[in-house]
Amino acid sequence: MSQTAIAKVWSFFALSTLTLSFLFFLRTTGAQPKGDSFGFLGYSAATIPVLALPMDIVLFGILLWLTWVWSESVKQGTWAERIPIFHFDRKDVDPTTRGGKIFQRWGFALSLVAPLLLTAQMVIRFFGGTVYEESKPAGFVSGWGQFEFSKLSAVSGMLRFGDPEGPQFFAWEPWLFAFMLVALLCGWLWTLRSIFR
């Protein structure tokens, strides 16, 4: 792929990641959307983390990979040149100038820092959420209790997340999300190393 193509794809994923992460954050605070364009925003605020966390992780992972590909293709130059320029071409925003570096700082903050913080907020809400068993809160499943696979898999009824009528909750989901989050954090650090080398 050419750098122009990578920059366009990167811009798409940067905007998507920031927008959806912020939308999910707003939904977990109780804000109500005017429409349900995405099909799952009608759920209660308590149930959003189990639906939003995988999307946040996947979108941010793709964005990190694209950023890494870009930064590895730039052999020389400053850190500002190792981040794709959002929406504009290099002739419009020169990352070697003062104004270009300021633009790239904002791009860095909005594409690589803000989504990470919003995802961290979603992680806190997920692991602080309530799991329901047959319309009653499962007392043994809250916080770190979500990692007790033996207790979760021993439940005979259906587990639901965040609400008695919320999405189905599988016993292996906390482990999967934890693994994905560790991989995401390692990818974020690896990408930062590539940018600021």
Q: What is the pLDDT of residues 6-51, one digit of tens each?
A: 999 999 999 999 998 998 888 888 777 666 565 666 677 788 888 8
The model's pTM is 0.87
CA–CA separation, 100 vs 98, rounded Å? 5
CA–CA separation, 59 vs 138, rounded Å? 31
Question: Which of the residue ranges 69-73, 156-160, 171-175 has the most confident prediction, judged by mean pLDDT?
Answer: 69-73
Using CA atoms of 88, 63, 2, 77 in order, give the dihedral in degrees to the nearest 10: 70
Q: What's the total number of domains in the chain? A: 1
Secondary structure of residue 25 in the 3-state scheme:
helix
Domain that holds residue 82: 3-195
Burial class (CB in 10 A: 0-12, 13-18, 19+), 141: buried
pLDDT in tens, 95-148: 989 999 999 999 999 999 999 999 999 998 888 888 787 777 776 555 555 666
pLDDT at 108: 95
